[in-house]
Structure 1
Amino acid sequence: MDPNIYALVLDTLNRATSQDAEVLKPAEKKLQEWEIEPGFYSVLLDVLSNHTINVNVRWLAVMCFKNGVDRYWRRNAPHAVSEQEKEKLRLGLLTPNVLSEPVAQIATQQAVLIAKIARLDCPMHWPNLVPDLLGALKAPQPLVQHRSLLIFHHLVKALASKRLAGDRRTFQDLTNTVYSFILSLWHENTELFLCHIQEGATTELITEHLEKALLCLRILRKLTVFGFKKAHESQDAVAFLNVVFDRAKTSLECRKLLKGRGIYPLELCEKFIIHLTKVALGVLGVHPFSYVPLIRPSLEFAIYYCFTEQGMSFVYERFNIQCLNIVKGILQCVEFKPPKGDQVKEPLTLQAHQMKMEVLDTATVCHMCRVLVARYFLLAADDLALWDAEPESFATDEAGESWKYSLRPCTEAVFMELFHEFRDTLAPELVRLLAGLQHAPSDVSDLDAILKKDAIYNAVGLAAFDLYDEVDFDEWFTNVLSQELKIKDDNYRIIRRRVCQLIGQWCGVRASPSLRPALYGALLPPLARRGEDAAVKLAAAAALRATIDDFNFDVDQFTPFAPHILAALYELLVESEECDTKMHVLHVVSYVMERCGAAAGRGGGADPLFACLPQLWTHARDHDMLRAAALAASVNLLKAIGECPPNIRPWILNVVNDSTKLSEPAHVYLLEDALDLWLAVLETSHVADAATLQLAGNLCPILEQTSEHLRIIVYIMQAYTLLCPEEFLLGAGGKCMLLLEDMLGDMRTEGILTVLKMAEVCISVSFPERNTFLGVKVIWPILLRVIHWLDLDDLPLVLSVELCLMSRVILLSTDLFYKAVEEAAATMPEYESDPTKVLDKILHVWTEKMNLVTQVERWKVAGLGLAALLTTQNAVVLSRAPALLLNLAEVLNDVMKTDECGAHQDSLVCAGGSRPASPLEGRGGAARWGGGGGGGAGTASTPAPAGPGAASPHELRRRALAAAHPAHALDLRAVTHHQLETLKAQVGPETFDRILQSTDKETLQQIREYIPI
């Protein structure tokens, strides 16, 4: 190696460890530049393996090397490390200097580095790695053996994480090769450290063997769980598993000795014990049938240490959690539960169930239940101290999978599994505990009695579904719980909080509908009371959500309480200090609004909540998830109120603008909710102001980046199109439609349908009376693509919308339709760029496949389109006139109905204020039937509803558009009759008769039932 390069890199590494930013930044930049230079990682290897160099410099060298492996080691990576350099590096990573690294932190990073390379190269490109490491494990030097074990541990961890079938077979081969040796090494070091602890040896000696034993144990855990198809078929694995709990028992006794001496290996010993329990949990999860012989010893082990006074003297919290998770895992394991039928496919299932039931007999299960309630469910002094110091954190701490790591949720999870499995045994036991409580409220000064009652109430809440027949909740609430909520003493906050939780747990289990108003009334005081404890208020808010999130929820029962509850939630939102708490409250607000709708918006209860959102948004500038919750709440508030308050509208538009700008980093968290809010604003707007129109400019960048939000963006586009068609389509809307057309080629069916339906909306707001046809111009590229795509093999759903789209264009202007056919034909060499051949193809597909259109409105519009083409004096159309008439007859049969007087009428023409559109109205040609959104022929007048629950402005616009839809605005019989009469006048009676003679007689007979021809 060039000494100058080595010196330059070393100097740069030195400067990169400086505390001076002016020195540090240029050095870091230089190191980044060198990442792709050949030979750079060889220099780093020389630096990190030189023990005379400063520790910080070597640490930085190994980190740079590790980052380089992530980026440039794969063969297909840009600027990948060359194969020659890789070979040199692999050899250098197992040199004596690396295997005797004196600094533990650097040794760990070196082990991770080797494992990262091995995950990509082993065994194919690094076949000697495992043999070399096994040789190093037998070295006489303790440090070399320790570092080799450390590397081997990270190697096994990396290889075990690979999940492809070939990689799993490779790992199984590795397991078969090394398992016996690692197991013997573990036994040796475990025996040594246990003996040293009992003999009172030096800390250094204990630590040396304990660290090696722990590394061996970690390796064995991965090998046992992931290295065998069936662990019980390996004698070594069975031998290892059979001693796991014995080793744990001995280690717990040694831990007690270490704790008495107060020396360092105590923490290491605790890790060793925890990893023994992790072995059991891993095998239980991945190889349940291999775990069957361990069911009895593991249950007896867990019961002794978690449920007996003698065993509890040895344990610590993390170990308690692990043991309880083993119990939970055994109770939960599907393979240990016999099927309800008589046949048991797997004999081990029956064996496992019998073992489980033998250990968990009636007396043991009842004892476990009592200990869980009387000991583990009691709030400890630490819990009460946390409650006093941080009530909001105390109330929102337990969530997600906290049962894996936290004792209280863990014990509750075990209790529920136990109760579900042994319901018949435990239900009477828990009812006796509940009956043993005083029916009158406890003495507020007796904290022990309050804590005991709280624990029992907690158990009754957790087991609510299994106590359905044993507890009459209506009576219990009316006579006891509702009274306890009224006691305002500070100690009694414990019971008030628990009663709120009980209401939330039982309301969906056994609370009669008539009790609901009483529940709402009971939850309101603790939620609204000034000076009430924050944890109680949050419990009341959570219970409130639970009462609303129920099948039997009745909005009318809740409505009288809605303004007061919203006001209380507003106060709680303002009082809360933690962002997580505010987020919880906002979720409750959103849920109330979502379930109750306009009923929750009455009485002005939502107004203060809306008014406080801008301040909350500012407060949450560094908390994106809280801002997302604020956006979601704004959506539901807006929908409930039915309009955007003028004083809040500028803030909402500004927030939507910022949250939908892809240049803002926070858009990753806020975009989805911001799009929902954007749509809600448009749907509640009567007119579009300048700020709303300007906001539309954010749509195109989102579409350009991803199609993930396509559906909601198209809904926003539709809302804009109905609100301000000309302004939107001439600006951002037109650009968006071009993007959508470009994306069509890569879309699945659902996306294609979404875009085509948007195109339909654009056509609906064309303005034929002004001869502008704005909507058709905007969707012109999409129309050309539809003509290209139209095929006999199209999916019925797609074909249905395609035919409807073309029909809508024809009904606006046949000239536009023929122009589109000409333009499309120019780029269709397979049809010799001949418009007549393309038109013939269109009509062939249309008439052959039109019966696949199942939606009656589209079916009728497709028929109207065919009728409109009849009078265009086109030879291709006339040549297919019999097929067109056949389809028209079928549409008439489906659409026409007979009134009370026996007369035929179009069943789809809007009744009550609407009328059939006269074919004589409008300009000549098919344009006289334009279904424009701007009024015109056949548009039904829709009175604006008033009062609470009225339709939104968007809904009114949508209804007006639907009323103007050709399917509802045009009488098919009148249109068909007029077209046939016009055709007869155009071609003359003789030609017209020839067309009729070439048409099937049955078809003519069907048409004559409705039209005299």
Structure 2
Amino acid sequence: MDIQRLCECLQAATSADAGTRKQAEAALMEGGNMNGFTPVLLRVACEESVDLVTRQMAAITFKNTVTRHWDPVAKDVQQASDGDKDVIREALMGGIVASPAQVQSQLVETARLIVYCDFPSQWPQLVPQLLQALESGDETRIHGALLVFRTVARKYEFRSDENERMEAEQVTGALMPRMLELAKHLMQSASSTKHIDMLRIILKSFVSLCYSSSPQTLVRDGSLVQWLQLALAALKLPVPTEGQPEDPDERAKWCWWKLKKWAMQVAVRFYSRHSSESVGQPRTQEEKAEAELWNEQCMVPFLEAFMEQAAALSQGAYISPRCTNLTLVFLTKCLSRGNAFAVMKPHIEALVLQVAFPLLAFNDSDAVLWEEDPQEYIRKGNDVIEEFYSDRNAAASFLQDVAEKRGKAAMPALMRQIVEIFKAHESATAVGNVPVQVARAMDGALLAVGSLSSYLRKKKQYKDSLEPMLQQYVLPCFQSQYGHLRAKACWVAGSFADLKFPEGVGVGRTFGAMMSATVNAMSDPEMPVRVEACMSARCFLEEVEDVSVLKPAVPQLLQSILQLMSQVEHEDLVVTIEALVDRLGEDIGPFAVELSQHLVTSYRRFITQEADEDGEDGVLSAYGCLRAMTTVLDSCGSLPWLYPNLEAVILPVVEGIVSQRDGSDTIDEGVELLTLLTYHGAKPSQACWAMWPHLVRIVQEVDAEHFESILAPMDNLISRDTEHFLSCKEPDYLQSCWDLAQWALDTGKGLSEDAMIPACELLNVVLQNCRGRVDHIVGPSLQLALTMATQAAPAFRLLKDACMRTVNNCVYYSPTLALGYLSQHGMLQATLQTLFVLMNAKKKGGAPAHFARNRDKKVLALALLGILGLGDQELPAEVASSLGIVFQGLVNSLSWLKDGMENAKLLEEDDGDSQDDYTTEDEDFDPSGEGELRDLDNTRALEREHRREEAEHLVEEASDDDLLAIFQDIDDLEDEVEGPLDDVDPFIMASELLRAMEAQHPQRLAALMGALQPVDMQRLQEVGMYADVRRKEIAERAQEKAKEAAKREAQAHAHGMHG
């Protein structure tokens, strides 16, 4: 395409006529595949004789074409030719420094893409080009060069490997001396906005180069101190009052404030790297020198400069919100360091009362947003990124850190100020006329109290006054004429929902009043109040002791939340539903189907919105909807008659997730829903079975890492409808299981260990649930497991253990069949040796190195019991000669299983809520004037601490694998998931086996017992005693299950009568 034709296409691409525009865009897109096209685009973008609109369009098209065709790792895209790349790299720098801003910005972004791909190896001429422009004396060229240098510095901001560090050092050595000279010159003539902007770019680049670690070149040549002095001088530059934009948003982005922002970023970054509490010791001499330079020469001067900014702010001077934020961030950091706080201490009250605290108040910007765009007000108030840059959030964090670290220095004064505001608002409310400024100050005071809730409840002199404060000052705000105060009252009430009142946590008059007021606020006429009330309601739902008080309000609660969900996109609304469903448990039943329908509707809306906008909006809310559906299903697990209706609503969502050909970000959530649908209720429906092929496809075609989560619904389908699993031939589910396991355990697939272990577990599920009915897979399963155990990489220790667990399951399935197969194929001796090695391997403290989970110990014990139970005629010679080792292994495994079950129960005990069980002394404070200090009763706390120490003692010397196994067993106990081995007790079986051996094979028993050491004899006796305990527990469990079954049957009958 020649230049004339290209210019015509570029002009047509800006046409108002859609047809003309699309035709031109298609031609430009096609041109990107032709050699020579992209350099011509750059030429047009840089050609002064071409009109600016066409040049700008050429620059945009150039950037998009480079983005598509430059990156060598991009797939299915034709790469730009080496010749085109050479031409572009040679000409791009010259185009950037000579182009107007509208074109330059696009070219700089293109340079950034190429720098990330090609610099320095493919673009070595860039540094000489930069130096040439920097030394030209032409400010336009210098400014363009600085923009490109910024892209280079940014590439090394998070440099991690040695090669990148060396490259950064080379760039620093070549360019930073000239940058420093230029910056000093600009500081001397810092009057024009252009010079200020150039200084900003230089400091911004310096921050990038020093973000992870400073280039050692700067430390060795002594220039680092000059750079820090430069940043300090920029921070102290007086901002001219003339020329500042009138628009608040534009004023905040004015180049002078952006320069100060980056000067502040230098200080914040160096403090974080060298002065914060979490910093370790310097690793090199250069790092040590840099740390000493910062801490001894620079930190305090920077702190004094920040104090000057804070002083100006307290006197009413304008400081941009981001600079205010960074000022407070730096001051907050300095609270932890003695020499820094010594500078702050004389001014700490002023910093608290005159700088930080006033920022908490509701302001004009808040009011405008509240009135004109309440949804944006809600979004900003709950956006993590907004909070990170917020001056208000920084002020609240500063007050929190002052309270925790330097409380005696400033908290009494702050609390007096808060009480004064409380009383002023109370007086104004009493006469029925609350001025706007009083209401706004009250909003800030409430924010302060809520932010300090953790601190206040720990301090004895404040703690006893919290309930009177909530009654006297917070509860009346729920009736305020100002919506923002009603919203803040909801937030503060939620912040103290877990407070220990005289009646306890989650109970009492004040708790009830706050919860009632918060629930009522969910019907407030103003949306931000309703949203805040909904989020705070979750706090009360989690803490309320008597759930029955919620039941009358459930319909209104659900209606309010669901209505809000249709109006506002907010993840926390869904979290509140989760909390409500979780606390109500099966009492959510009457509302479960309708609630699920609303959640499905909301989920589909959020997913559609995300797809339409091609962004992240709505994705968190969509995840939240899936989690809430999970909570509903889990809560209704004991209401099986509901599941057909719930399945009809939820299963289409599951199918939509698991059937996507290219996978979905919500596969695990969809699979979890299917897990519950297949576990609860009657046996799995045919609609649930229809999900099986999708599950297999996900593992084999989408991502095998999902195999672990997919194993759960497969397990449920097999265990809860074994007949269908075995009898169905279209599809053949048994064959599908075997094929999937064989596929995953093929070393040629290159799967991770995590993706291969579930294949062994799937075989175990089949063997345990189909005992006596799948004899034909025992031999192949042994062959597959033992082959993988032999071929797996040495690092795949967990996979090898999983393979041996499958061997144990085969032996438990049929000792005769398994041992016979192994003996027939010459594998028995090697298998026994491997098993004995694994059984006897121990870690420090005597814990087993393998078969660590309780379920694994159980299967091992059952396998060994099966071997020991064989008659003399059935025992292969290799086994007969090793019965002593087998018997020793049985004693060990049963002893370990007994300890594991007892320890898991101990660790499962609830530590209780430890909040408010301790206080510390400080100055007295009583906002109501009526509070009296009370003595602390530590009995409950001491009991909990004793239990905690017992549990911790169990894990003190355990490895990560031990802990994983322990907590896995806790999860098993908490979930109470039924399995085919639940009614098989190895302790009782061992007791019966010993009695049978005593009667039938007394000589064998005598030989086995005689080989045991005294300590093992004692362990065997303990196991025998534990068998009696297990008989009693099993009988009690059977009675409980019978009662529960009768109760459920009655409920189901009543449901059928009323249905």
TM-score (norm 2): 0.72
Give SS of 1:315's match.
coil
Structure 2 residue aligned with 1:657: 655
CA RMSD between the two structures:
4.6
Q: Which amino acid aligns with 2:417?
A: L
Q: Distance in 2 between matches of 1:180 and 1:847?
A: 68
Structure 1 residue aligned with 2:102: 105
Q: Is residue 425 from structure 1 mapped to residue 440 from structure 2 by the alignment?
A: no
Structure 2 residue aligned with 1:609: 595
CA contact (8 A) 2:108 2:147 kept: yes
Structure 2 residue aligned with 1:857: 858
Aligned residue among 619, 623, 626 for 1:628: 623
Equivalence map 1:726-765=2 (5 Å): 726-728=723-725, 730=728, 731=731, 733-734=733-734, 735-744=736-745, 745=747, 746=750, 752-765=756-769
Per-residue CA deviations over 1:867-910 (Å, capped at 9, x if unaligned) read 46656768xx13542213652476379869xxxxxxxxxx9xxx
Q: Which amino acid aligns with 1:526?
A: T
Structure 2 residue aligned with 1:114: 111
CA contact (8 A) 1:526 1:536 kept: no
Structure 1 residue aligned with 2:365: 382
Shift of 1:653: 1.0
Structure 1 residue aligned with 2:695: 699
Q: Distance in 2 between matches of 1:192 and 1:503?
A: 55
Q: Distance in 2 between matches of 1:641 and 1:593?
A: 9
Q: Is residue 962 from structure 1 mapped to residue 985 from structure 2 by the alignment?
A: no
Give SS of 1:648's match.
helix
Higher alpha-carbon Rg: 1
Structure 1 residue aligned with 2:266: 279
Shift of 1:632: 0.8
Q: Distance in 2 between matches of 1:800 and 1:209?
A: 67
Give SS of 1:688's match.
coil
Shift of 1:171: 2.0
Structure 2 residue aligned with 1:446: 434
Q: Which amino acid aligns with 1:698?
A: H
Q: Is residue 400 from structure 1 mapped to residue 397 from structure 2 by the alignment?
A: no
Aligned residue among 450, 458, 463 for 2:452: 463
Q: Distance in 2 between matches of 1:675 and 1:732?
A: 21
Aligned residue among 567, 570, 575 for 2:555: 567
Q: Distance in 1 between matches of 2:439 and 2:686?
A: 61
Q: 1:499 to 1:869 in 2, by over 3 A?
A: same
Q: Which amino acid aligns with 2:264?
A: T
Structure 1 residue aligned with 2:928: none
Q: Is residue 242 from structure 1 mapped to residue 229 from structure 2 by the alignment?
A: yes
Structure 2 residue aligned with 1:938: none
Structure 1 residue aligned with 2:179: 182
Q: Is residue 412 from structure 1 mapped to residue 405 from structure 2 by the alignment?
A: no
CA contact (8 A) 1:784 1:820 kept: no
Per-residue CA deviations over 1:637-656 (Å, capped at 9, x if unaligned) read 22223234543331111111
Q: 1:62 to 1:361 in 2, by over 3 A?
A: same
CA contact (8 A) 1:15 1:23 kept: yes
Shift of 1:582: 4.9
Aligned residue among 516, 541, 556 for 2:506: 516
Structure 2 residue aligned with 1:827: none
Per-residue CA deviations over 1:364-405 (Å, capped at 9, x if unaligned) read 111121124652122113323433445555355244243432
Q: Distance in 2 between matches of 1:80 and 1:498?
A: 56
Q: 1:757 to 1:45 in 2, by over 3 A?
A: same
Per-residue CA deviations over 1:237-264 (Å, capped at 9, x if unaligned) read 4334335454444441255677699999
Shift of 1:423: 0.8
Per-residue CA deviations over 1:619-639 (Å, capped at 9, x if unaligned) read 444234323211111111222
Aligned residue among 351, 354, 357 for 2:341: 357
Q: Is residue 305 from structure 1 mapped to residue 305 from structure 2 by the alignment?
A: no
Structure 1 residue aligned with 2:518: 526
Q: Distance in 1 between matches of 2:253 and 2:991?
A: 89
Q: Distance in 2 between matches of 1:261 and 1:276?
A: 22
Aligned residue among 499, 502, 513 for 2:492: 502
Shift of 1:305: 3.4
Q: Distance in 2 between matches of 1:654 and 1:76?
A: 38
Q: Bigger CA drift: 284-293 or 720-729?
A: 284-293
Equivalence map 1:58-73=2 (5 Å): 58-63=55-60, 65-67=62-64, 69-70=66-67, 73=70
Q: 1:88 to 1:568 in 2, by over 3 A?
A: same
Q: Distance in 2 between matches of 1:489 and 1:135?
A: 69
CA contact (8 A) 1:442 1:449 kept: no
Equivalence map 1:583-602=2 (5 Å): 583-594=571-582, 596=583, 598=585, 601=587
Shift of 1:148: 3.0
Structure 2 residue aligned with 1:842: 831
Q: Distance in 1 between matches of 2:222 and 2:253?
A: 32
Give SS of 1:963's match.
coil
Shift of 1:68: 5.4
CA contact (8 A) 2:538 2:576 kept: yes
Q: Which amino acid aligns with 1:659?
A: I
Q: 1:604 to 1:466 in 2, by over 3 A?
A: same
Q: 1:509 to 1:255 in 2, by over 3 A?
A: farther
Structure 2 residue aligned with 1:929: none
Q: Distance in 2 between matches of 1:217 and 1:108?
A: 19
Q: Bigger CA drift: 749-758 or 429-438?
A: 749-758
| Percent sequence identity over aligned pairs | 17
Q: Distance in 1 between matches of 2:96 and 2:154?
A: 20
CA contact (8 A) 1:473 1:510 kept: no
CA contact (8 A) 1:44 1:65 kept: yes
Q: Distance in 2 between matches of 1:385 and 1:258?
A: 20
Q: 1:159 to 1:7 in 2, by over 3 A?
A: farther
Q: Is residue 545 from structure 1 mapped to residue 546 from structure 2 by the alignment?
A: no
CA contact (8 A) 1:570 1:608 kept: no
CA contact (8 A) 1:791 1:845 kept: no
CA contact (8 A) 2:565 2:602 kept: no
Shift of 1:570: 0.8
Aligned residue among 169, 173, 177 for 1:172: 169
Per-residue CA deviations over 1:821-859 (Å, capped at 9, x if unaligned) read 59xxxxxxxxxxxx4423443344445655556755223
Shift of 1:422: 1.5
Which stretches in structure 2 are left out of the alignment for 5+ residues? 276-290, 610-617, 842-850, 896-901, 903-971, 1022-1059
TM-score (norm 1): 0.75
CA contact (8 A) 2:146 2:202 kept: yes
Q: Is residue 671 from structure 1 mapped to residue 667 from structure 2 by the alignment?
A: yes
Q: Distance in 2 between matches of 1:260 and 1:846?
A: 77
Q: Which amino acid aligns with 2:310?
A: C
Aligned residue among 113, 124, 127 for 2:124: 127
Q: Is residue 319 from structure 1 mapped to residue 323 from structure 2 by the alignment?
A: yes
Structure 1 residue aligned with 2:144: 147
Structure 2 residue aligned with 1:267: 254
CA contact (8 A) 1:567 1:606 kept: no
Q: Bigger CA drift: 881-890 or 567-576?
A: 881-890
Q: Distance in 1 between matches of 2:711 and 2:260?
A: 57
Equivalence map 1:6-85=2 (5 Å): 22=19, 25=22, 28=25, 32=29, 35=32, 37-53=34-50, 55=52, 57-63=54-60, 65-67=62-64, 69-70=66-67, 73=70, 80-81=79-80, 83=82, 85=84
Structure 2 residue aligned with 1:903: none
Q: Bigger CA drift: 368-377 or 503-512?
A: 503-512
Shift of 1:360: 1.0
CA contact (8 A) 1:175 1:227 kept: no
Structure 1 residue aligned with 2:645: 647
Q: Distance in 1 between matches of 2:214 and 2:29?
A: 39
Q: 1:890 to 1:245 in 2, by over 3 A?
A: closer
Q: Distance in 2 between matches of 1:148 and 1:431?
A: 53
Give SS of 1:862's match.
helix
CA contact (8 A) 1:278 1:322 kept: yes
